[in-house]
Amino acid sequence: MATGNPGSRGRQARVNILAIDVGGTHIKVLATGRRKPLEIRSGPKMTAKEMVRKVRQGTSGWSYSVVSIGYPGPVLHGRPLSEPINLGGGWVGFDFKKAFGCPVRLINDAAMQAMGSYKGGRMLFLGLGTGLGSALIVDGALEPMELAHLPYKTGQTYEDRVGKSALTRFGKKKWRRHVGEIVTRLQAALEPDDVVVGGGNAKLLRVLPKGARLGSNANAFIGGYRLWNSDA
């Protein structure tokens, strides 16, 4: 349950943050000071309104004063640009601030996990989940990207080779090879100092390309907290 506007109790008031990582199969939720995330099944019937209802229901009794949302799609000025491919509708134009009763900051889900993974320099983040998420951070400046739908070869996109459907279609061995090829290509094109491979399916990788490290879905919560940290 929201507890009001941050700062309303004076300079020493603590801002408790509720971070929501919205995915095509699950929504994961964690608040400042809590250790175990709430996990909610999502899917093609999960609308924005239903997401808020289930999150509020599941976090009844939790204390938070602001909300961060990682959204599975392009975001501009804190608002979704299009409806998510793997979820229900009603996300574009939805008033999240009114629904939660407190300030809300919304960002692309890959960008939020990238923020939580960042250690400095020029970092490329690639999220292996239902699709392929991507973001670039250069000297602290975040640039969400949409590499998933770029043409790869033989009429396929990058996401067609490394998304969840590709894992089912090609099998783990061939899928792992595709991931390695794509990471290597993007390293050559974007010249990052650091590459983080995260997302729910990253754990299926046995070997990472040189210069890449394994991310964690838990970093999405760190990124959500950093959205409200002016020093981050």
DSSP 124-158: EEEEESSSEEEEEEETTEEEEE--TTSB-STT-BH
* In the chain, ranges of CATH 3.30.420.40 domains: 17-111+221-226, 119-215
What is the predicted pLDDT for the residue at 230? 58
| Cα 9 from Cα 72, distance rounded (Å) | 34
What is the predicted pLDDT for the residue at 231? 53
| Cα 73 from Cα 213, distance rounded (Å) | 24
Radius of gyration of the chain (CA): 18
Mean pLDDT of the chain: 91
The encoded tokens of residue 136 equal 């670039």
- Decide: 25 and 217 in contact? Cβ < 8 Å: no
Model confidence at 1, in pLDDT bands (50, 70, 90)?
very low
Q: Does residue 38 have a pLDDT over 50? A: yes
Q: Does residue 4 have a pLDDT over 50? A: no
Is CATH 1.20.1290.10 what the domain over 17-111+221-226 is classified as, yes or no?
no
Angle CA 195–39–5, to nearest 5? 90
Question: Average of pLDDT values for 55-84?
Answer: 95
| Cα 208 from Cα 196, distance rounded (Å) | 10
Q: Which helix (H) or strand (E) holds 29?
A: strand 26-31
**What superfamily would CATH give domain 119-215?**
ATPase, nucleotide binding domain (3.30.420.40)
Q: Does residue 176 have a pLDDT over 50? A: yes
* pTM for the whole structure: 0.87
| Cα 128 from Cα 13, distance rounded (Å) | 38
